[in-house]
Amino acid sequence: MKRLLFVVFLFLSSMSLAQNDVTKFLGIPVDGTKTNMIQKLKEKGYTYNSQLDCLEGEFNGYNVRLHVVTNNNKVYRILVEDAFGVNETAIKIRFNNLCRQFGRNSRYSGIKENQEIPDNEDISYEMIVNNKRYEAIFYQTEMTIDTDLFKNTILEFAKGKISENELAELSDSEKEQLVMVVLNEYQDEFKEYYVANNPLKIVWFTIAELYGDYRIAMYYDNEKNKSNGEDL
């Protein structure tokens, strides 16, 4: 049991199980109305541009535009977009530097250990010819661990590996062994399943290209307010 708790602790250090918490941007919950969010961002020193319907200012050492995105009048995303484009070499350096900054920040954990772009990668060729998308995904972390919820999610995931009858016949110790097998042998697959069933506090960024210039677009998403097809 101690070994199980230790493995769960390591795994959940990159995930949030606090279901009442949401992604934050500059300490502000990505939630509520657009008007209230704009006001809170103004209080942080950003200036509202009515023509572009965004806020302008500095973030992490760069001039940016902040876009407040809503669904059903609730904020579900803050888009942080570079105000000015740069060349391919500069954007690769900026992207990799962001990966390292997030990686060093104890409040975040990445979906993969290394999300940097290789030094020899021709990103313009890959984006234009192969339609490759460069993105890095991180989670705002919390150390709130509900091991029962975690184990139950693993057992639900395991139904795709063994039959429900077989699962029902397992003893408690055998179920704990099954949990270890999932964490050791199906970790990446389980992470995708876990994220799909337990929305996390996601922050991700990508490279956007416009007429040969490149920008970073960074997204602070509240998955709970995101559209799930309820308006269809």
DSSP label at residue 22: -
Shared domain check, 104 and 151: no
- Asked if residue 101 and residue 27 are part of one domain, the reply reads yes
- Would 230 be classed as within a structural domain? no
Based on the domain organization, do 80 and 179 belong to the same domain? Answer: no
User: Any residues with CB less than 8 A from the CB of 141 and at least 6 apart, and which?
Assistant: 13, 14, 15, 16, 106, 107, 108, 109, 201
Rounded CA gap, 177 and 182, in Å? Answer: 9
Task: Let me know whether 182 and 208 are in one domain.
Answer: no
Statement to judge: residues 107 and 206 lie in one domain: yes
- In this prediction, residue 159 carries a pLDDT of 78
| 188 and 117 in a common domain | no
Is residue 115 assigned to a domain?
Answer: yes
CA angle 138/142/143 to nearest 5° reads 130
Contact yes or no for 208/133 (Cβ under 8 A): no
Instruction: Say whether pLDDT at 139 is over 90.
Output: no
Contact 23, 220 (CB under 8 A): yes
Q: Amino acid identity, residue 183?
A: L
Q: Which domain holds residue 110?
A: 15-142+199-222
The span from the CA of 195 to the CA of 28, in Å, is 23
Q: Are residues 109 and 191 in the same domain?
A: no
Instruction: In whole angstroms, give the CA distance from residue 222 to residue 215.
Output: 23
Indicate if 82 and 185 belong to the same structural domain. no
In a domain, 90, yes or no: yes
pLDDT single digits (tens) 4-24 = 444 444 455 444 444 446 889
Tally of domains within the chain? 2
Please indicate, yes or no, whether residues 22 and 121 belong to a single structural domain of this protein.
yes
- Domain-embedded: residue 1: no
Residue 229 falls inside a structural domain: no
pLDDT digits 0-9 by tens, 70-124: 999 999 999 999 999 999 999 999 999 999 999 999 888 887 788 999 999 999 9
DSSP state of 56: E
35 and 112 share a domain?
yes
